[in-house]
Structure 1
Amino acid sequence: MSDALVYLSALMVGVLGLSRLVLVRHDGVIPAVRHGTTFALTQAAAMVVAAPESIALIGRRGPFPNAPVLIGDLLRLTAAGSLLLLADHVPAAGRTRSGWPRAVAALVRPPLGRLVLPVAVLLFLCARTGELHGAETATGDAHRLLLAGYDLTVMLYTCCCLAVLAAALRRCARELDDGLLRRGVTLLRVSVLVGTAWAAWGTDDVVDVLRGGIQQGGEDPVSAVLGLACVSVAVLGATVSLWSPVTRAVSGWLADYRRYRALGPLWQTLHRQLPQIALRTPSRWRAWLPPLYAHFALYRRIIEIHDAQLVLRTAADGATAGPAPAPGSGPGSADLRLEAETLLRGPALPAAPATRAAVPAPAPARSSGRTPGGAR
């Protein structure tokens, strides 16, 4: 289960990074996008390598025991460094820092920040870890302390980089007006906070190593859930610009489909008496499926109801009922939703009798704008 969550999170981060890769290849791309893309790709690679199944697969061919663990952590540290560079290019991030953000930034920036990778590699190799049923083992008190120091170095550096980015996003959100951009920045900050909890969960590895000298390789279930939550919120924040058109399209489709279904009983009653009003009769199995273009389906249903009303009105006046108007005639540019509400407020038609008797005509609907060939 944890493997599936890790791979799903890696896929989401990778797709987000690849979608930005096209922008990075063009000249003039802003540095924030470049650093964000670097973080997404390296973090996706780190999550794939750190999955338990990947560790079991790569570990058999590694140059030394637990090589996938070291490779995954180095990729994670590289991703954290990209977040540190991203924080420098967030709007309003260049202002003078005070308090803990300035102190934390001083710990992870050069020259101290450049020592993290070599120190982590040195600690891991000196710990001389072994492997036992997919877990890392360290024998002896000195090796345990070295492995615990390695885990603590990776965890603290990642948390510090995330804290610097969270502070920069907080300052940026304060200066933005309320809107989609501010909501996106706020979601990204929430994602960073969840990511900090995700990184801080590595303290359980430190405790396990100090207690028994054994550390479970890869992501545990809690870490996998925190990673998926962090990635999901980050994707929502990074794609906030797509929300408005998507929500408008979905809400418009739902509104048209609701009116299309509401007109169903009236249309079925008229269609049983006048089958020729149907511009197109769908097959039996397609009749149960919602229309892909609800706006066009609603337009066609209103046209067919108007055609039936014309025939019934002519019959009620004592004239001979002629053929139904040509298919495709309908209310020119009338608002479909207003037209549908007008039809729904009209008197309901009774159920069709056994004989083909004339059905009482509903309240006259607007038809002054009907022109041949008005439907498209």
Structure 2
Amino acid sequence: MIQLSEDQIVKVTGDVSSPKGFQAKGVHCGLRYSKKDLGVIISETPAVSAAVYTQSHFQAAPIKVTQDSLKHGPTLKAVIVNSAIANACTGEQGLKDAYTMRESFASQLGIEPELVAVSSTGVIGEHLDMEKIHAGIELLKETPAGSGDFEEAILTTDTVIKQTCYELAIGGKTVTIGGAAKGSGMIHPNMATMLGFVTTDAAIEEKALQKALREITDVSFNQITVDGETSTNDMVLVMANGCAENECLTEDHPDWPVFKKALLLTCEDLAKEIARDGEGATKLIEAQVQGAKNNLDANVIAKKIVGSNLVKTAVYGTDANWGRIIGAIGHSAAQVTAEEVEVYLGGQCLFKNNEPQPFSESIAKEYLEGDEITIVIKMAEGDGNGRAWGCDLTYDYIKINASYRT
């Protein structure tokens, strides 16, 4: 085990089952043709939990069931997730199926149903095959733990699993935070269009955890966009089971800023991996905004840039067309003074003083041929800073979504 100082946060190899007292599993129950499609995370002790949900007016049935679980109390012992079928816009039967899914898994674990969260992702408007769900839950009972299987089971059009893990010291105890996520298309969260699961063995007060998650979501998951679409299902769930045996963290605890930073890093990692794995994407785009009126304005501008189809296609085409970046900034709701905006790409200044600047097109093109692109915007409106992440827009995005149900 790495020896950590009190203010040190270290990224380590790991996942949602790395924190003490957690295990994860995944199986194929038949909702998909061949890939794993039913996964669970289980905590050996009740875990203080917090969640943020899609802001869609058509919240899916599993979202409502998870909200019901957390209304009964702030702790969970497990979450069950299926892919392939979203169980969204499925009426009373869909809600009944989501509750049945919760109760069936709780019964297998020998716990109260309200200690289980439920999540689904996939095609909207189709009902779950509950015989397959029940069979999958039975299969899970005999399946050995394997976080990679869980991470595969929650995927839809994703091309890779998404995981991360950090260790930090809290009061002389080593605390671990692990994360897994899915998301590739319909990415424009608020909070929406993805699933994120974070586990930690830290002991934390529920109110502090919920507040931190909301704040962190705003600057991580809510700052990614692939296609500007918002889903019906998705959520971020954090479970903290206290198995690290640290002194309970509150906002007043001296180590709270360190834990909150580690949680932010975890969520940023997952958010960036989702953006990187956008449907058909070949490049991760990061927009950094400095000197905006405030952080809110900075985040608005950054997200406008990475969400612009014209910027995304220019990046795909390795075209340093700064006019598209200016266009995105220009129709944002932020305070912008044209003469005080500077645009940088790969270290070169492309635009300043409301006029183009001389730069090397060949150097810019070479930079854009990489798989990680950073666009830097400097302003003089205030001390606001912000970031957002997206991806390029390719022909494959259309191919994937034109045949999504076939």
Specify the TM-score bucket, using the shorter chain as the normaliser: under 0.3
User: Is the helix fraction higher in 1 or 2?
Assistant: 1
TM-score, normalising length from structure 2? 0.25
Bigger relative CO (Cα 8 Å, ≥ 6 apart): 2
Larger radius of gyration: 1
